[in-house]
Structure 1
Amino acid sequence: MMRASGVLLSISSLPSRYGIGCFSAEAYEFVDQLKEAGQKYWQILPLGPIGFGDSPYQSFSTFAGNPYYIDLDRLVSYGWLTREECEAVDFGQEEQFVAYGKLYEGRYGLLQKAYSRSHMIQNEEFKQFLEIEKEWLEDYALFMALKNQHNGRAWSEWEEDLKLRDPKALDRKKEELKEDILFYQFMQFEFRRQWKDLKAYANKQGIKIIGDIPIYVSFDSADAWANKELFQFDEEGRPVAVAGCPPDGFSATGQLWGNPLYHWDYHKETDYEWWMKRLAFCFSMYDTVRIDHFRGFDEYYSIPYGAQTAVDGHWEQGPGIGLFQKALELFKDKEIIAEDLGYVTDTVRKLVNDTGYPGMKVLEFAFDSRDSGSAADYLPHNYGKNSVVYTGTHDNETVIGWFCEGLKEEEKEMVRDYLCDHFTPDDQMHLPMVCAAMRSVSKLCVIPMQDLLGYGNEARMNTPSTTGTNWRWRLKKGEFSDELIGKLCSITKRYGR
């Protein structure tokens, strides 16, 4: 990885005509803008179909793609939809925010029409896709068809024979739900085809894609339903314990994520086969992979199933270097970023160092008086070259929201003293922060689009442990202006990126 920079922007946050960012003309335009701005990377959020809380980190499958990202205009160009049909659907009235309820109500109906007109079952490329991807695709499509038949209820609430995957019951449902299954397979085929085209275009323009692999999968997912041996489940398919984070200065009761925990002894016995397939899939989709919650591979926080908070959890030993020795053997020439944020112990630092992967540095963390012990790790003069620096991530306040609303006056002074900047107005402090990240020695610098624009917390992507208002922000057409592109290009050249 050469000294370079990039921009963090979820696919969902792109401008588009139909309620959410997707693989449309605007995505290709954004690639062109990144190139013009001198960037080399585009970091996105997980691409999976979203589940609870509209979160891309709670997906129905670790291998499937989000049907919302399918470009409807391309389906119009195929003759499978008309422009009038697309424009007749209410996708929500707010240009800058995704209305997920409206999307759910409107988009699947259009995709169903496109499928019925596509005669996809006769398409040779589709048949090849079904064969190549059948190891995960058959379970996923059946899972989604069953979920639809059960009015969206989690698989743990299905009939016993379906919940525990009785072969006769599954065969019966495969026949009964044949058309629904094909519809879900069709959406995955079109998603993959459109994504591959967009990624190929980005790569041709000199832009690499950084994708995100969540450490955990959702309990209500095809992965958990079809592969119970991978997880800490009892004989009835119930989790023994679930994932989260302990109480800290940011949350008195910790974070209860609810994801099933891995049965790491089984993974070790199988030489981490499922994880290697997962990584191989990610490298077929992205150029660089950011592994989320890396510290969970050293030690993970285990919370008893049924607990209301994370208070009664405890730490358990993760797989450690064993998993990554296998990964380094199979993917030695691939770029991986370790998301080593949070409470970082000496053993976590050792694991990151032993893998050789660059860890993450977040500028906002450097000026937190509640956590002065580790804050120094995030000050730019303490970085090593083998790191990736961000002003903030999708889970943080925007820089302007953080500076203007989140900091005490003495903390603001700490920031200004460090940056030698006592003149920039509070609502413009994103600019010196972006420059501080850009001029650091970190070999890669990634700036969230909201911080380039200097937006406040109204543009925040996610507030952990909350639901209902997250993952909604979108870039309006024209906001990534020629002026901003020129400014970003100038900063990038100035600091040798």
Structure 2
Amino acid sequence: MTLSSGNDLFSVRRAGVLLHPTCLPGTLGVLGASARRFVDFLAASGITVWQTLPIGPTHRDLSPYQSLSAHAGNQDFIDLSEVLQAGLLADTELTKPIDQSRQQLLDIAAQRFFDGKGEARHGLDLTGFEEFRAKNDYWLDDFCLFVAIREVQESPGWLQWPEPLRDRDPVALQTFIDQNRERLARIRFEQFLFQHQWQALRDYARGKGILLFGDIPIFVAHDSADVWANRALFKLNDQGEPTVVAGVPPDYFSSDGQHWGNPHYNWQAMAEDGYRWWLERLESKRHFFDLIRIDHFRGLQAYWEIPAETPQPRFGYWVPGPADHFLQACFDRFPDLPLVAENLGIISEDVEELRKRFGLPGMTVMQFGFDGSPNNPHLLHNHHARDLVYTGTHDNDTTLGWYQSLDDHTRRYVNDYLGTTGDGMPWPVIEAAFRSVCSLAVVPMQDFLALGTEARFNTPGTMINNWIWQLDWNFPEEDLSKLISEAVQRHGRLP
């Protein structure tokens, strides 16, 4: 058994923050000054891990867990002011944003870039672009083609495209390429810019002693370049429609279960080529992050399969996953793979045994601990040193909102367990998480700001008012940094 040496990151106590980049303010994009300001705030606060959600391009619902690509970055993160500094846009083009969309501005920047204009610096030149294209050829062309067709068709998904494009007829694809070369060049350029700016941010964070912690959804969206370009790797019918979809049975978040709608993998087909698609996916994320969480890790041991013709989650059933065979292939390819297992929800003992066989840290969530059982794994006295503790996750209410929604009996239990009267919430919960033996304690930024339900980021099973909360810098940064830093040091979480 090969264990991940990336777990050495958990040999010291650290404090982390959970904040998705879309939460950062920035009308021209977030991967420039806005993200660096947040990194500066973290460094001043003693926070050494910044966890994000998946960073791929999203559908209209904005969910980062239903991306157009398992590899690409979200082009809306690109900071146009830095494109201006590179000489690829003019001041006047940015001061009148109503006249031109981001896409049009990036079209202009791409044209100037490929014409050799602008300031070549730090790899932002044609040589750097060609190197980027060569390193990412295993996904880049399919993604660019997928997005370009999607733009031209203006359709809700690739199943609605003309059949030759839907089914990737070589003649139809080549004709489309010939007719849309500038569009394809702009989409490639966007991805080049994204990676360039992200790597600059990662270097900046490293210089401040901060690790970036990313998230991989176990499943991918049906309307994605990955499914369109690799249909044999998914359980689809001849027309490309899923025969079964992903979800979960009734759980903490939903009494009816959840219908995610993602197509399931054809794990047998994936195993036949050594899980090539998954290994390439992990390769992509290693370029972006120092730590990687696999969302819904339990799906590797067994996953909930819902027949497409009976979409209610309660009609699903458990199907064995690839388990050890898959994970061993991952660690054979990447011995130092820094994986974290999201082991929340309905977790059976065989799932925990799989996680422990590969030495993967798991997760505990303070909000989940107070069901009245002293054996609840989320209670402080049941934590384990190499795991992670969260006050709450992106799917939870804020800790203040959660606390305020509790019934009187549970609220008294929380107060008694934490030794508090409830004053100053959510800080008693934050302090408890920092006090945990878990090596990494992660707090959503909304909790550090003591915000209520109005700042909740996502409510599972709902489709509106999710993924839209944004950070407002109008708070006393120095005072909050001092408060956090003192707590970090008090609990030995400053490496």
- TM-score with structure 2 setting the length: 0.92
Q: How far apart in 2 are the matches of 1:80 and 1:242?
A: 44
What is the aligned partner in structure 1 of residue 71 from structure 2? 63
Equivalent of 1:455 in 451, 456, 460? 451
Give 1:409 shift: 1.1
What is the aligned partner in structure 1 of residue 57 from structure 2? 49
Contact 1:298 1:317 in 2 (8 A): yes
Give 1:356 shift: 0.5
Q: How far apart in 1 are the matches of 2:311 and 2:181?
A: 39
User: In terms of mean alpha carbon deviation, does 29-38 or 440-449 score higher?
Assistant: 29-38
Q: How far apart in 2 are the matches of 1:460 and 1:31?
A: 22
What is the aligned partner in structure 2 of residue 408 from structure 1? 407
Give 1:90 shift: 5.5
C-alpha deviations, 1:226-259, integer Å up to 9, x for none? 0111111122211110101112354232111001
Q: How far apart in 1 are the matches of 2:63 and 2:176?
A: 29
What is the aligned partner in structure 1 of residue 225 from structure 2? 222
Give 1:316 shift: 0.4
What is the aligned partner in structure 1 of residue 108 from structure 2? 113
Give 1:290 shift: 0.8
1:431-442 map, 5 Å: 431-442=427-438
Q: Does 1:12 align with 2:7?
A: no
Distance 1:84 1:466, change over 3 A: farther
What is the aligned partner in structure 2 of residue 418 from structure 1? 417
Contact 2:250 2:257 in 1 (8 A): yes
Where has structure 1 moved over 4 Å in runs of 4 or more?
none
What is the aligned partner in structure 1 of residue 3 from structure 2? none
AA at the equivalent of 1:433? V
Q: How far apart in 1 are the matches of 2:426 and 2:166?
A: 50
Distance 1:453 1:249, change over 3 A: closer
Equivalent of 2:182 in 179, 182, 190? 179
Q: How far apart in 2 are the matches of 1:493 and 1:245?
A: 39
Gaps of 5+ in 2: 1-8, 117-124
Distance 1:131 1:194, change over 3 A: same
SS in 2 for 1:300: strand
C-alpha deviations, 1:16-53, integer Å up to 9, x for none? 243xx610212112112211111211111111001141
Q: Does 1:316 align with 2:300?
A: no
AA at the equivalent of 1:408? D
C-alpha deviations, 1:441-481, integer Å up to 9, x for none? 00111111000010011111111111231111111124361
Q: Does 1:396 align with 2:391?
A: no
Q: How far apart in 1 are the matches of 2:413 and 2:482?
A: 30
1:32-181 map, 5 Å: 32-89=40-97, 106-119=101-114, 123-181=126-184
Q: Aligned pair count?
A: 475
Give 1:84 shift: 3.7
Contact 2:215 2:295 in 1 (8 A): yes
Q: How far apart in 2 are the matches of 1:356 and 1:78?
A: 44
C-alpha deviations, 1:341-375, integer Å up to 9, x for none? 00111111111111101000000000146xx59x7
C-alpha deviations, 1:288-323, integer Å up to 9, x for none? 001111011011000111434212111101111111
AA at the equivalent of 2:415? R
Query: What is the RMSD of the two structures over their aligned residues, measured on CA atoms?
Result: 1.8
User: In terms of mean alpha carbon deviation, does 474-483 or 239-248 score higher?
Assistant: 474-483
SS in 1 for 2:25: coil
What is the aligned partner in structure 2 of residue 298 from structure 1? 301
AA at the equivalent of 1:367? F
Contact 2:251 2:345 in 1 (8 A): no
Q: How far apart in 1 are the matches of 2:115 and 2:270?
A: 37
- TM-score with structure 1 setting the length: 0.92
What is the aligned partner in structure 2 of residue 264 from structure 1? 267
1:17-36 map, 5 Å: 17-18=27-28, 22-36=30-44
Contact 2:251 2:346 in 1 (8 A): no
Contact 1:52 1:58 in 2 (8 A): no
AA at the equivalent of 2:211? K
Distance 1:435 1:310, change over 3 A: same
AA at the equivalent of 2:111? S
Q: How far apart in 1 are the matches of 2:27 and 2:237?
A: 46
Give 1:170 shift: 1.0
SS in 1 for 2:101: helix
Q: How far apart in 1 are the matches of 2:94 and 2:295?
A: 36
Contact 2:390 2:433 in 1 (8 A): yes
Q: Does 1:466 align with 2:466?
A: no
User: In terms of mean alpha carbon deviation, does 285-294 or 243-252 score higher?
Assistant: 243-252
User: In terms of mean alpha carbon deviation, does 330-339 or 297-306 score higher?
Assistant: 330-339
What is the aligned partner in structure 1 of residue 363 from structure 2? 360
What is the aligned partner in structure 2 of residue 330 from structure 1? 333
AA at the equivalent of 1:386? R
AA at the equivalent of 1:489? S
AA at the equivalent of 1:4? R
C-alpha deviations, 1:251-289, integer Å up to 9, x for none? 232111001100011122222221111112111110000
SS in 1 for 2:314: coil
C-alpha deviations, 1:364-387, integer Å up to 9, x for none? 000146xx59x7110011011120
Equivalent of 1:235 in 222, 238, 242? 238
Give 1:89 shift: 2.5
Q: How far apart in 2 are the matches of 1:120 and 1:343?
A: 55
Q: How far apart in 1 are the matches of 2:159 and 2:387?
A: 41
Q: How far apart in 2 are the matches of 1:274 and 1:255?
A: 26
Contact 1:120 1:126 in 2 (8 A): no
Q: Does 1:201 align with 2:200?
A: no
What is the aligned partner in structure 1 of residue 426 from structure 2? 430
User: In terms of mean alpha carbon deviation, does 301-310 or 251-260 score higher?
Assistant: 301-310
AA at the equivalent of 2:108? K
User: In terms of mean alpha carbon deviation, does 245-254 or 355-364 score higher?
Assistant: 245-254
Contact 1:120 1:186 in 2 (8 A): no
Distance 1:115 1:306, change over 3 A: farther
User: In terms of mean alpha carbon deviation, does 72-81 or 385-394 score higher?
Assistant: 72-81
Distance 1:448 1:120, change over 3 A: farther
Equivalent of 1:491 in 481, 487, 490? 487
Q: Percent same amino acid among aligned pairs?
A: 40
Gaps of 5+ in 1: 92-104
AA at the equivalent of 1:409? D
